[in-house]
A = this chain, B = another copy of it.
Amino acid sequence: MENVTIRMLAEKLQLSTATISKALNNSHEISEETRKRVQELAKELNYVPNPYASSLRKKSSKTIAVVIPEVADSFFAEAINGIEAVAKEKGYHVLIYLTHENSQQEQAILNDFQSGRVDGILISVTMETAASEHGLAHLSKELPIVFFDRVCEELPTARVTTNDKEAAFIATRHLIERGCRNIGLLAASQQLSIIRQRISGYEKALKEAGLPLSPNAVTYYTNDTVGNYKKVCETLRQHRFDGIIATTEKLATSVYEACETLGIRMPDELKVVGFSNLSTARFLQPSLTTVAQPAFEMGKTAATLLFRSLKNNHFPLAHQQVEIPSQLVIRQSTAV
């Protein structure tokens, strides 16, 4: 069986393709009767419109891109859930692109979007991304872009984050309240503004408690899991911290691994808070006190903003800076 086209419907019904098109799109220019006739035949012949013909003509693809560093991370996985929920509701399709924390790859992906392949972009940038030299600024003039979680602060477009600074502040204060006096912070990257926010919240808490801000208490990591693990070991060995803030899920896991290797007992010798959405956090040994980010909500909100802008050109994306608070979930890794 040939693919059914609008032309075939037109011939069968002795109507023009224009009429068919309008009827299928429920145009009110069309009489109720013909509309019904057309739609019935369409259903009967199992007509499915060719999306690419439509996209070509309308210059819109009903497709958005989600660009993220990785998918095997419960934050991003949940965020995708949120995005997908909204996209499905709006009848949009979701292209997914992984950057693997590599800004070159990210760049290449973004370049492709010049083509009109997608109507809008949801992105959480890599640890290496520096917005300035980034095609992102250019792209944002052609397409609506919404950042979620890992934003570029320099770019005047919508951003959905959690309350990174305050969450880190609260987490650090919690450690202090639990008796920690020498608290280290494991940072994912110098580049990321959300990490800078977290550091700043951490510093604020130390200052308020009158604790010194030792020079090497903040250490930085890359995308190299094995290298990171080694560096965590090194850091823990050198500094003899009594408290740790791990700013990513993977780093939190590395702390468990390092403690196992080094024979450091949590929480007695080291108390740990992790930024993490791990569903297993409560079953870890010891259960992990987490800064639980509203991943699903963030994805959903970001997508909602994007679709609002897609629906209405004049929607001021640049003014949308949504912050959704995280929750400190206290467990055994910070027990006294």
Q: How far is the CA of A84 from the CA of B96 in the complex (A)?
A: 9
A107-126, CB under 8 A of B: which get 1 and which 0?
00001101111000000000
* Alpha-carbon distance A211/B171, docked complex (angstroms): 51
Q: Give the docked Cα–Cα distance between A49 and B117 (Å).
A: 10
Task: Report A224 CB to chain B, min CB distance, Å.
Answer: 16
Tell me if A78 is interfacial: C-beta within 8 Å of chain B: yes
A50 on interface, CB distance cutoff 8 Å: yes
Q: Are B98 and A84 in contact (CB under 8 A)?
A: yes
Q: Is A329 an interface residue (CB 8 A)?
A: no
B residues in contact with A93, CB < 8 Å:
95, 117
Cα distance A73–B63 in the bound complex, in angstroms = 24
Q: Which residue of B lies closest to A96 (CB)?
A: B96
Is A191 in the interface zone, CB < 8 Å from B? Answer: no
Chain A, interface SS category: mixed
Does A279 lie at the interface of the complex (its beta carbon under 8 Å from any beta carbon of B)? yes
Q: Is A226 at the interface (CB under 8 A from chain B)?
A: no
- Is A214 an interface residue when CB atoms closer than 8 A count as contact? no
A196-237 contacts to B (CB < 8 Å): none
State whether the Cβ of A8 lies closer than 8 Å to any Cβ in chain B: no
Task: Give the interface of A toward B (CB within 8 A).
Answer: 3, 46, 48-53, 55-56, 61, 63, 70-74, 77-78, 80-81, 84, 88, 93-98, 111-112, 114-117, 253, 256-257, 260, 278-280, 283-287
> Can you list 14 A-B pairs with a CB-CB distance of less than 8 A?
A3-B116, A50-B116, A52-B56, A52-B61, A73-B77, A81-B98, A84-B96, A84-B97, A88-B98, A93-B117, A94-B95, A95-B96, A284-B284, A285-B287
